[in-house]
A and B are shown apart, each in its own frame.
Chain A
Amino acid sequence: MTSPRVSAYLAPRRRLQLAGLLTAPVLWLGLVYVVALAALLVTAFWTVNELTGQVQIEWTTENVVEVLTEALYRTVTLRTLGIAVLVTVLDVLVAVPVAFFMAKIAGPRLRHLLVIAILAPLWASYLVKVYSWRALLSADGVIHWVLAPFGLDTPGYGIVGIVLTLSYLWLPYVIMPIYAGFDRVPDRLLEASADLGARGWSTLRSVVLPMIWPAVIAGSIFAFSLSLGDYITAGIVGGTTQMLGNLVYTNVGAANNLPLAAAISLIPIAIILVYLAAVRRTGALRSL
């Protein structure tokens, strides 16, 4: 039989065993992820043929210089960053009370129902959800209809629409880690804090918040990084608003300038790296 022979052959050869075990996952991670990213970064230093739009391997820093110096990219970067920060803050503000209620107040039945309710939207397609927000925000949509009696109107398509839609989309990703964080805070700590005379607010500030802080940061990574790279939402409910992702998209789709698109995509990568480096200090990455 072959299989005992294979085993006998492999037994003393530890390195071969290791190679057999790791080849598939390393190829996957290496080829599909690292190489794709490396190819993207390298492309930023190439150029295109003006007429045919085909990529030519001629090394140049022109694209990166253009991205760093032109006002358009600065404006759009600041706008995108602002939207991402706003979405993150909104999501955390909504998620903390919801997660607290789920972990500490709701009974087991209600808790399960809430978890299902929060995760259920993840089953629906991203596009369906964004298009339903397009309908909601429309001039004759539900938001207009609800606000009209109060003399208000729908914010329409624009930055407000983008922030609302993205906050809605990423909320489950923020609630779940914070919920897990609250779950790890033992009830007896809250009781001990109360026994020692602390009121609700100081218990929250000095006991609960330091314990759930890494979870909040973990949730914010999702909301922040997903918002930073989004372009479909901006295209559907953003009106004329451009985000960094839209510039990448137009440069790939309309302008046919892959190197410039790659150079633009370096901006969100740089922002996320800075953000992750800052986050690492809080220890939040361990609780992801």
Chain B
Amino acid sequence: MSKSPSYAALKAGLAAAAIASLAACGTSSSSGGSEAASSLGATEGSVSILAWPGYVEDGSNDPSVDWVSGFEDATGCSVTAKTYGTSDEAYQLMQSGGYDVVAASGDLTLRLIAADLVAPVNTDLLDNYAGIFDFLKNKDWNSVDGVSYGVPHGYGANLLMYSTDAVTPAPTSWDVVFDKASDYAGKVTAYDSPIYIADAAVYLMAHQPDLGITNPYALDQDQFDAAVALLKDQKANVGEYWSDYLKEIQAFESGDSVVGTTWQVIQNSITTGNTDVVLPEEGATGWSDTWMIASDATSPNCAYKWLDYIASPEVNAAATAYFGEAPSSQAACDFRDDCEAYHAGDADYASKIWYWTTPVSECLDGRTDVECVDYSEWTKAWQEIKG
């Protein structure tokens, strides 16, 4: 019996399988905008949450830090949580699906909305929405055409962390990681995300005013090139970039990093006590986060319950205090004694932080005579900076 017919059949079968699976994978088209829920049904028994580290604590990191158990007891929705290190990572995870709720910063929210990955939120269904600061509601980064896409959580600044034994006197300016970075060669650290280019832009705003930067997320080509050049100089002194916050904690504890950008929660987590944080005089980039519901959520009712629960003053106070950021409501300050330090409710102060925003080619600062560098170029430049 000849071998060739069965071999040919086999090849044909393989080819058919290949075509079928190629057609099935890799692409998806976005359908029309999804609708917000008009009423709530029975809870589904579980909810899957994607959030920044420190946002969904069930006591496993620190037994005294637990607001998930209270939610589970009250609603019967068991919580599974996953943390992420950069907004880009979160975007990737949301694309892969499987999450009901996401805590997103301003450089992520609009991308999620544009890709139809999150649904509008009917804030009338949330008892605690009314108490939230007005200056956080229906902003560019959490609504589109007056339609709310989520519930504000908290806001804060990316701080400068330094090792108190290696960096003296205590720094007051970002120059320790830029112009004076060579004093700490090999021990400087920086946030490993294209959005960090904005930190360089904030520094240039104060130190090279002739560049005319008015918004670190609206950079024309010249301003962008200056920021990239600054970061390329910085790279020679950087020991490592961090996006995993545990990696930064460990690097500062062991002394591998002595100065660099950080979050308050990292300072709170360091047990060796040899570090301190400061909000430098140039100002800083920061974040204003929003709880959003996935458009393909399998547990939308539990998701609404979570949004309402996390916005309640007591829980919001606990979560934002643990992360080290200002809470979303005045009532939450009754449960915190450090609201002053974070300038909670001070709309003027909140406006001085440059909240993460996705850079687009239409300049965010209102300039129409030039085109700004968009985020895909930021991403490319970031890879080149790291070399």
Which residues of A sit under 8 angstroms from B169, Cβ to Cβ? none
Asked if A141 and B386 sit within 8 Å, CB to CB, the answer is no
In angstroms, how far is the closest chain B Cβ from the Cβ of A200?
45
Does B384 make an interface contact (CB < 8 A)?
yes
Asked if B384 and A72 sit within 8 Å, CB to CB, the answer is yes
The segment from B13-21, B289-297, B320-328 that touches chain A is B13-21
Which residues of B sit under 8 angstroms from A257, Cβ to Cβ? 376, 379
Asked if B27 and A75 sit within 8 Å, CB to CB, the answer is no
Asked if B92 and A253 sit within 8 Å, CB to CB, the answer is yes
Does B98 make an interface contact (CB < 8 A)?
no
Asked if A139 and B254 sit within 8 Å, CB to CB, the answer is yes
Does B66 make an interface contact (CB < 8 A)?
no
- B155-177: contact bitstring with A at CB < 8 Å (1 yes, 0 no)? 00000000000000000000000
Which residues of B sit under 8 angstroms from A43, Cβ to Cβ? 26
Asked if B18 and A157 sit within 8 Å, CB to CB, the answer is no
Asked if A156 and B14 sit within 8 Å, CB to CB, the answer is no
In angstroms, how far is the closest chain B Cβ from the Cβ of A243?
11
Asked if B91 and A240 sit within 8 Å, CB to CB, the answer is no
Does B86 make an interface contact (CB < 8 A)?
yes
- B22 in complex: contacting residue of A30, A42, A50, A239, CB < 8 Å: A42
Which residues of B sit under 8 angstroms from A236, Cβ to Cβ? 247
- A157 in complex: contacting residue of B10, B17, B256, CB < 8 Å: B256
- B76-93: contact bitstring with A at CB < 8 Å (1 yes, 0 no)? 000000000010110110
State the CA gap A164–B295 with chains docked (Å): 46
Which residues of A sit under 8 angstroms from B26, Cβ to Cβ? 39, 43, 46, 55, 258
Does A53 make an interface contact (CB < 8 A)?
yes
**Those of B243-279 within 8 Å (CB) of chain A:** 247, 250, 254-256
State the CA gap A50–B247 with chains docked (Å): 31
Does B1 make an interface contact (CB < 8 A)?
yes
**Those of B354-379 within 8 Å (CB) of chain A:** 374, 376, 379
Which residues of A sit under 8 angstroms from B38, Cβ to Cβ? none
State the CA gap A55–B376 with chains docked (Å): 14
Which residues of A sit under 8 angstroms from B387, Cβ to Cβ? 72, 75-76, 240, 242
Asked if B114 and A38 sit within 8 Å, CB to CB, the answer is no
Does A54 make an interface contact (CB < 8 A)?
yes
Interface size on A, residues (CB 8 A): 49
State the CA gap A75–B111 with chains docked (Å): 32
The segment from B141-149, B232-240, B280-288, B308-316 that touches chain A is B232-240
Specify the main secondary structure of chain B where it touches its partner.
helix
Which residues of B sit under 8 angstroms from A141, Cβ to Cβ? 254
In angstroms, how far is the closest chain B Cβ from the Cβ of A237?
9
Asked if B27 and A140 sit within 8 Å, CB to CB, the answer is no
Q: Which of A22, A135, A239 has most chain B Cβ within 10 Å?
A: A239
Asked if A31 and B17 sit within 8 Å, CB to CB, the answer is yes
In angstroms, how far is the closest chain A Cβ from the Cβ of B144?
13
Does B28 make an interface contact (CB < 8 A)?
yes
In angstroms, how far is the closest chain B Cβ from the Cβ of A20?
12
Q: Which of B1, B95, B238 has most chain A Cβ within 10 Å?
A: B95
- A59-85: contact bitstring with B at CB < 8 Å (1 yes, 0 no)? 000000000000010011000000000
The chain B residues found within 8 Å of chain A, CB to CB, are: 1, 5-6, 10, 13-14, 17-18, 21-22, 25-28, 30, 86, 88-89, 91-92, 95, 111, 114-115, 186, 193-194, 235, 238-241, 247, 250, 254-256, 374, 376, 379-380, 382-384, 386-387
The chain A residues found within 8 Å of chain B, CB to CB, are: 14-15, 18-19, 22, 26-27, 30-31, 34-35, 38-39, 42-43, 46, 50-57, 72, 75-76, 134-135, 138-141, 156-157, 236, 238-240, 242, 247, 250, 252-258
Additional A-B contact list (20), CB under 8 Å, known A240-B386, A254-B379: A18-B6, A19-B6, A27-B17, A30-B18, A39-B22, A50-B374, A52-B114, A53-B111, A54-B27, A54-B28, A56-B27, A75-B387, A140-B255, A156-B239, A157-B256, A236-B247, A240-B239, A242-B383, A254-B86, A256-B95
